[in-house]
Each structure stands twice: as C-alpha cells, then as structure tokens.
Amino acid sequence: MPNNSTPKILPSEITDEQDYLNRREFLRLAGVATAGALLSTACQADVSNAAATAGKPAGESNFSGGSLGKLQKSPFSTDEKPNSYEDITTYNNFYEFGTGKDDPHRNSKDFVSKPWTVTIAGECDKPGAYDFDDLMKKSTLEERIYRLRCVEAWSMIVPWVGISMATLLKRFEPNSRAKFVKFTTLHDPEQMPTQRRRILDWPYVEGLTIAEAMNPLTIMVVGVYGKVLPNQNGAPLRLMVPWKYGFKSIKSIVHIEFTEKQPLNTWQISAPQEYGFYANVNPDVDHPRWSQARERRIGTGLFGEKIPTLMFNGYGEHIAHLYSGLDLAKHF
Amino acid sequence: MRLLKTLVFVVALLPAAKLVLASFAIAGLSLGANPVEELLHEAGEWGLRFLLITLAVTPLRRLTGMNWLIRFRRMLGLFAYFYLVAHFLIYALLDQRLALGPIIEDIIERPYITLGITALTLLTPLALTSTNAMMRRLGSRWQRLHRLIYPAAILGVWHFWWQVKEDIREPLIYAAILAALLGIRVWHRQKGQNRRVATPVD
Ligand code: HEM
C-alpha cells in the first residue's frame, strides 16, 4: 500500500507555496501511483479517487498525467504557441518502445516508472543511489516552454516541467576532473520491447560537456503541460537541451556519471558519419541524407509551410559562447 | 471477368480513399500529428506494394497455370504508377510546396531522392505505352521496354532502404520479396522454359 502517501514536510520546507510545486499533492499522487502499479486492480478505488481529486477522469489508473500543481514561470520560455498535448504525446521518437512515431504511446502504457532509482557515479563526492521522489522533494519545478527540433527536420513547441540541471547536479558535488556528464536510459527488455532487438547499442547513452550540463537552459524534465511526464515522453525523468537535436535529450534516465573523457553517445556509435557528440541544431550543416535548413512544425496541418531552422534552435545568445573556436561543421 | 476487374479496381482504390478521408478528418480517420509525412509514407508504400504485386503476376500465372491473371497486370501496374505519382506530388506540392531550389538540391544531393526520381522516370514510359494501341505499335519492342520495371523496382526498394534510420526490417521484407520475384524469373529462364510468346492482353 502507499508507503509515502503521508509525507512529513516541515513548514520551512514549503517555500513560497504559491509559486512552487505543491509537494504534498505530488507525493500523494506518487504514493498512489506506486500502489497503482503494484496492485492495479486491488487499489482501483483509491486510484480513481485520487485521479478525480487531481482533476482527471475517474478510473484512470496510470500515474502519468497527474497534475504537478503550481509551477514557477521562466524567462527562458518562448511565447510561441505550444503544440497540443495530443501531438506531444502521440508523435514521439523513443526507439525502446518501437521505431514508429505512434509506437511509444501505444507500447509504453504499462511501463512502471515508480518507484525509480537514479544511480550517480564517477567524478563526484556524493555518488550513490537516489530515489526519484527524494530528489524531487528538494526541487523547484519550473515551466519551460521550449522549441524542440528533431534531427529528422520536424519541430514542436513543448511546455516542459523541469528542474534546473545545474542545481540537481551540484547536489552530487562533481569534482574538478568532471569534464563530461554521461546519462544512461533504463535497460529492461521486458518492458522496452525494442531492446530485444539490436537495432541500437542498448542501453541508450547520451553525454554533455559539464559546461553544457550546467548551462541555465539545460533542465531535467519531469512533466509536460503541468502534468507528470507521460511514459512515451521519457518518464519519470529525461534531459532537455533545447539547442541540440532531440536525440540528445535522453529519456527515462537511471544512471548519471561524471567523467573525465568524452562519452560515446548511442547514435554516434550507430552511425558516426551522421551523428556526432555535439548535435547542435545547425541549419548550415546538413545531415548526410537530408537538409537541415528548414523544418516542419508539427501541428501546421497538410498545407503548413516549412520554416527556416534557427542556428542553435534560436538559443544562441545563451550558449553560443560554449562553442567559440570549435569547427561546427567538423564537430556536428 | 468484368465484375472481377471492377472489384479489383475498387479494392486498389481503397487505400487512396482512406487517405483522402483521413486528410479531411472524415469518419473519425486522422493522419496524425505529421499529416504530410503520413501521406508521403503511405503513398510510397502502396506504390511499392503494387509494383511488387504487378511483378508477382507472371510467376503466379506460370506456377498455377491461371493464365487469366495476366488480364489484371496492366491495371495493377497503373495503380503502382498512380500511387507513386501521388507520392511524388505529395513531396513536391505539400512537403516542398513547389520550392524549386530545394527540390532540385534534393534530387542532386540526396542519394535516396536521386534513386526515387530515377525509378519514377523509368516507370513513366511504361505507363504511357500501356494502351493497346501503343502495344500494337511497338510490337516486340514493347516487351523489351517494359522490362524497365525490374530496375525501377530495385531502385524503389533501394530508395526505401536508404531513407530509414536504423530499423531496416521493413525495407528488408520488400527487398526479400523483390529478390524472390526476380529470382523466380532467372530460374525460369535457366530452365529454358520461358518461350516468350507475345502476351495476349485484353
Ligand atoms: C519507384 C519510385 C518510388 C518508390 C517505390 C518509393 C517508395 C517509397 C517508400 C516505400 C518510402 C518509405 C515509406 C515509409 O517509410 O513508410 C518512401 C519515402 C520517401 N520517398 Fe519515395 N518512392 C519512390 C519515388 C520517390 C520520388 C520520385 C520522390 C521525390 C522526388 C520520393 C521521395 C520520398 C521521400 C521524401 C520519402 C520520405 C523520406 C523521409 O520520411 O525521410 N520518392 N518512398
């Protein structure tokens, strides 16, 4: 039964309640979800009850989609109109659940993302296994409305909910040898059907330089549209680096390692001539098989016109300095 | 036979009808979040399917002795061409919105597009000479000309193969079917059984 449904939160911990996550609500939902995953039929009553309180249709037993409460706004958010929740949650690249765009939302329905442990290792003073809920307890949830540009030349506007990556990573006290951060996705062929076939070198791995990871734009995403992150979008936590192609923003992370050497990311292993380590959005450097100069904005229908792709996906003012002196055509 | 032909005609149009309905969100159908891509992919796949079905007619006729199958070959081939022209038009009109620069750049610089356009170009004279009158006029040259369907099909599968990212299962299936269909012909020829009689077509 829910083992953390009545969390003890000190009043001092509840900072500026209006602007921040309503943690009590978050944890209560989290607890219910654990129960829901373990005892989906036995706990049907509790679950539908909680779902109703959270403003969801009663009877929906999946935790994904629960409300995250009040969120802090961010100056980094774009004022472009976000894509619909449906587009964001039915058009996904998440190869672990299938290579078609509609595979992830169909094949990830029973994915268990609670409880969830993230292990921290490498060049830091606080390695260890951390419970996702414990990590979230101490975090300020922000809404970040970002452009998302896929390497396949389509894009979306997504209202992510996340926490500052820098704040999160500093908690593990990386040392001076930590030059890169390596992220790893869950490896669980039972739950992730495509991992039973070797189309990629599982588990999925991505990496950032420590400066990229610590940049204020970089966030760890735990939700979308004010709700808990759906499984097909990388529940319970995924990276978001909005100036890079989407494949850099690794999903369902179970392992974070601070390294001295540049990690090899999965797509680079798979096709080094097509995908590099940096993968910065760049309209001037084409993919060997298609142009990156323009992109199709999802949601513009049959007659929507492709729009020009922006250098660094339009985020250059915040991050271009990270690449001064780097030949971006060579380090694609 | 007339009834059967009408039936095949209607069935062959069903995928197109479904796509048209979905384009206008009729009958609860939808093209999803990226409708242009969905149309492009569906038309391309149906074009390739009809190409392979057309190539299956002769081996099937030889294997089963059902010679009347040949009467469907022209219609099936024209449906392949129909879906592939639609595929090209979706690319040119909806995907590229007739932006000539990018289209030409694609054709020259993207090998998979180069393959696709070559395949479609090879198929065009076949569609144009598919009438009885043309068949009579060209005589034995007609058959030689229509062997262009073999390289076109190979290029079509190759084009599919080159545009997928990592999961080559689907193009692999099409490649295997094409290899079988061409293999049967080679085998047949080696057995010296293929007396090429000018095929009677209605
Ligand atoms: C015999 C001729 C052709 C055949 C058999 C063919 C077949 C296909 C197939 C099966 C697909 C993949 C569909 C999927 O992934 O489900 C495809 C994709 C595509 N084809 Fe063709 N095609 C042909 C000609 C052309 C031509 C002439 C063009 C444009 C000039 C073209 C442009 C494309 C494009 C842009 C894609 C999508 C690529 C992507 O999504 O990244 N094709 N085609």
Instruction: Report residue A65 CA to chain centroid gap.
Output: 15
State which residues form the domain around A217.
13-323
3-state secondary structure of A13: helix
**CB within 8 Å: B110 and A296:** no
B200 and chain A: CB distance < 8 Å anywhere? no
**Rounded Cα–Cα distance for residues A224 and A216 (Å):** 19
**Rounded Cα–Cα distance for residues A172 and A121 (Å):** 9
**CB within 8 Å: B35 and A301:** yes
* Residue among B34, B111, B167 minimizing CB distance to A296: B34
| SS3 annotation, A68-81 | CCCCECCCCCCCCC
Q: Is the CB of B86 under 6 A from ligand 1?
A: no
Does residue A7 lie within any of the structural domains? no
Does residue A332 lie within any of the structural domains? no
**CB within 8 Å: A90 and B106:** no
Collect all residues with Cβ–Cβ distance below 8 Å to A112 and sequence separation of at least 6: A37, A191
B112 and chain A: CB distance < 8 Å anywhere? yes
Look at ligand 1, atom 42, and give the residue with the nearest C-alpha: B116
pLDDT < 50: residue spans in chain A: 1-62
Residue B193's pLDDT band (boundaries 50, 70, 90)? low
**Rounded Cα–Cα distance for residues A109 and A92 (Å):** 14
Q: Is the CB of B117 under 6 A from ligand 1?
A: yes
pLDDT of residue B194 exceeding 80, the answer is no
pLDDT of residue A45: 33
Residue A151: other Cβ atoms inside 10 A: 20
Does residue A6 lie within any of the structural domains? no
**Angle in degrees, CA A279, A251, A198, rounded to 5:** 80
For residues B16, B19, B25, B27, the Cα torsion angle rounded to the nearest 10 degrees is 60
Look at ligand 1, atom 4, and give the residue with the nearest C-alpha: B156
Q: What sign for the dihedral angle of Cα A276, A279, A281, A287?
A: positive
**Rounded Cα–Cα distance for residues B158 and B152 (Å):** 10
Q: What sign for the dihedral angle of Cα B100, B105, B108, B112?
A: negative
**CB within 8 Å: A304 and B36:** yes
**Rounded Cα–Cα distance for residues B147 and B196 (Å):** 13
Q: Is the CB of B88 under 6 A from ligand 1?
A: yes
Residue in chain A closest to B103 (alpha carbons) equals: A291
CA distances from A40 to A2, A35, A37, A44, A54 (A): 12, 7, 6, 6, 18
pLDDT of residue B174 exceeding 60, the answer is yes
Does residue A48 lie within any of the structural domains? yes
Are A2 and A32 contacting, i.e. CB atoms less than 8 angstroms apart? Answer: yes
Q: What is the pTM of this model?
A: 0.84
Q: Is the CB of B91 under 6 A from ligand 1?
A: yes
Chain A and chain B share a number of CB contacts under 8 A equal to 59
Are A216 and A207 contacting, i.e. CB atoms less than 8 angstroms apart? Answer: no
A305 and chain B: CB distance < 8 Å anywhere? yes
Does residue A330 lie within any of the structural domains? no
Look at ligand 1, atom 6, and give the residue with the nearest C-alpha: B44
**Rounded Cα–Cα distance for residues B150 and B82 (Å):** 18
Which secondary-structure segment (H or E) carries A267?
A: helix A266-270
Residue type, position B202, single letter: D
3-state secondary structure of A283: coil
Does residue A131 lie within any of the structural domains? yes
Q: Is the CB of B126 under 6 A from ligand 1?
A: no
Does residue A5 lie within any of the structural domains? no
**CB within 8 Å: A296 and B37:** yes
**CB within 8 Å: A101 and B36:** no
Overall domain count for chain A? 1
**Is the peptide bond preceding residue A236 cis, with omega within 30 degrees of 0?**
yes
Rounded to the nearest whole angstrom, what is the distance from the C-alpha of residue A313 to the centroid of ligand 1?
A: 28
pLDDT of residue A47: 34
Nearest CA to B104 among B90, B86, B89, B117? Answer: B117
Ligand 1 pocket: which of B40, B83, B96, B173 to mutate (most atoms <8 Å of CB)? B40
CATH no. for residue A116?
3.90.420.10
The two structure tokens encoding residue B134: 């043309």
Q: Is the CB of B87 under 6 A from ligand 1?
A: yes
**Angle in degrees, CA A281, A284, A287, rounded to 5:** 70
pLDDT of residue A308: 97
For residues B53, B55, B58, B63, the Cα torsion angle rounded to the nearest 10 degrees is -70
pLDDT of residue B199: 54
In chain B, residues 5-44 whose CB comes closer than 8 Å to chain A: 23, 31-37, 39
pLDDT of residue B196: 53
Look at ligand 1, atom 9, and give the residue with the nearest C-alpha: B44
Backbone angles phi, psi at A159, to 5 degrees: -85, 85
Backbone angles phi, psi at A64, to 5 degrees: -60, 130
pLDDT of residue B164: 82
pLDDT of residue A49: 34
Min Cα separation A88/chain B (Å) = 8
The two structure tokens encoding residue A253: 């992370």
Are A146 and A88 contacting, i.e. CB atoms less than 8 angstroms apart? Answer: no
Does residue A3 lie within any of the structural domains? no
Q: Model ipTM?
A: 0.85
The two structure tokens encoding residue B165: 């990212």
**Helices within chain B (DSSP H only):** 2-23, 35-64, 73-89, 100-109, 111-128, 132-138, 140-146, 149-163, 169-190
pLDDT tens, position by position, A285-307:
999 889 999 999 999 999 999 99
**Rounded Cα–Cα distance for residues B150 and B126 (Å):** 12
**Angle in degrees, CA A152, A158, A162, rounded to 5:** 115
CA distances from B63 to A145, B69, B93, B147 (A): 62, 11, 42, 20
**Helices within A124-264 (DSSP H only):** 132-137, 165-170, 210-214
In chain A, residues 84-103 whose CB comes closer than 8 Å to chain B: 86-87, 90-91, 95, 99, 101-102
Instruction: Looking at the CA of residue B47, tell me the nearest atom of ligand 1.
Output: 5
Alpha-carbon radius of gyration of chain B:
18
The two structure tokens encoding residue B35: 């409708």
The two structure tokens encoding residue A292: 């990156």
